[in-house]
Amino acid sequence: MNATLSKKVALRGLLIAAVTGATMLSIPVPGFRLYFNFGEGIIYLAALLLGPAWGAAAGGIGASLADLVLGYPLWAPFTLIIKGAEGYVTGKLGKRSPLLGIAAGAAVMIAGYTTMAGVLYGWAAAPVELVTDLVQCGMGAALALAALKPLRKALSRSSGDGM
């Protein structure tokens, strides 16, 4: 394995772990089996920096692992799909415009979780999920957009291939 490939594999593994860790920094929503977390920004960064496949992997795998650790195993398969799709869409459309990619990824995430909260817990839970997700995506977008340019520059310098 060459050095560049080793760096990429290590970085991608770290991004999955970072999504897991940031998602575990969570705040439960009282009265519901929902929680607010800080993983969104890391998913957006992974997708925008490394593309749709690794945005999907970091988002889906990282966030579903956090669901398992935090005691939300029911959500893990849904999270794998929803956050995976969010990361993929963000990475795919983020090639045109980071803001477009984040907005589209957020729409996927919000629609997916709001729908699943309604199905699993009754439609009274859907508005709570919707508001929580809007705040979570907004904070994640702010983090990702602030960190994107300096991280892109640092990765470009360290990899030599413009990752």
Which conformational region is residue 107 in: left (phi greater than 0), alpha (psi within -120 to 50 degrees), or beta?
alpha
Spatial separation of the C-alpha atoms in residues 137 and 122, rounded to whole Å: 23
Q: What is the pLDDT of residue 162?
A: 47
pLDDT band for 35, please (50, 70, 90 cuts). Answer: confident
Provide the angle, in degrees to the nearest 10, between the axes of the packed helices 52-70 and 3-24: 40
In the chain the beta strands, taken as DSSP E runs, fall at 27-29, 34-36
Q: Are 144 and 31 in contact (CB under 8 A)?
A: no
Number of domains in the chain: 1
Task: Please state the pTM of the whole predicted model.
Answer: 0.90
For residue 163, pLDDT over 60 is answered with no
Angle between helices 98-121 and 40-50 in degrees, nearest 10: 140
Domain limits for position 41? 3-159
For residue 158, the model assigns a pLDDT of: 75
41-51 b/e with 16+ CB inside 10 Å = b? bbbbbbbbbbb
| pLDDT tens for each residue of 72-101 | 999 999 999 999 999 999 999 999 999 999
The CATH code of the domain that includes 27 is 1.10.1760.20
